[in-house]
């Protein structure tokens, strides 16, 4: 792990992979935002869900599988605000309601485009500036 301290490059960690990580290690239990990957060896789907859910955070998750039944089971079983199937976790989707679960995220699901429907009420208004009485659309009367 290399910590860069340079006014030219900024302050950051270089991309880092932690191997040999076990579920009880701090690096496996905390949210790390950065180019960091913790690799845990897991022997079954059940163990993976148990490890994933046995932390106090639940921002986003991902599962890679060719079994659609396992994918749908993971969507249900994993305690996270968002679950990707066969795609990497990138965190929140700005256009979707999102907030994470447990001790993570902002705790709100009123995000994305759904917020407009949640907090608004549709009202239709017609305005005629002609000053004339308008006929109904079903009128067949000639002027």
Q: What is the pLDDT of residues 17-67, one digit of tens each?
A: 999 999 999 999 888 877 888 999 999 999 999 999 998 888 888 899 999
112 contact partners, CB below 8 Å, separation of at least 6: 93, 94, 95, 96, 97, 98
Domain count, the chain: 1
Q: What is the DSSP string of 3-36?
A: EEEETTTEEEEPPEEEEEE-TTSHHHHS---SSE
Residue 36 resides in a domain: yes
Give kind and range of the element (H or E) at residue 75. helix 68-77
Q: Which structural domain, as residue segments, surrounds residue 115?
A: 3-119
Give a yes or no: residue 128 inside a domain: no
* Domain-located, residue 38: yes
Computed on alpha carbons and rounded to an integer, the radius of gyration of the chain in Å comes to 25
Confirm if 90 and 61 have CB atoms less than 8 A apart.
Answer: no
Q: Is the pTM of this model over 0.75?
A: no
Q: Is residue 115 part of a domain?
A: yes
- Is 131 part of any domain? no
In a domain, residue 65? The reply is yes
Distance, CA of 36 to CA of 91 (rounded, Å):
14
Q: Using one digit for the tens of pLDDT, what is the confidence trace for 64-107?
A: 999 999 999 999 999 988 888 998 877 556 666 666 677 776 55
């Amino acid at each position: 792990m290399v910590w860069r301290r340079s006014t030219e490059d900024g302050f950051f960690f270089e991309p880092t992979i932690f191997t040999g990580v076990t579920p009880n290690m701090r690096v496996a239990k905390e949210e790390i935002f950065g180019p960091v990957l913790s690799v845990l060896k897991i022997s079954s789907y059940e163990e993976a869900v148990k490890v994933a859910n046995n932390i106090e955070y639940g921002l986003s998750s991902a599962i890679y599988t060719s079994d659609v039944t396992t994918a749908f089971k993971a969507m249900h079983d994993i305690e996270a605000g968002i679950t990707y199937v066969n795609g990497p976790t990138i965190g929140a989707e700005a256009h979707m309601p999102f907030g994470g679960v447990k001790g993570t995220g902002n705790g709100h699901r009123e995000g994305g485009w759904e917020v407009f429907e949640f907090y608004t009420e549709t009202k239709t208004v017609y305005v005629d500036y002609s000053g004339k009485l308008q006929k109904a659309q079903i009128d067949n009367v000639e002027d």
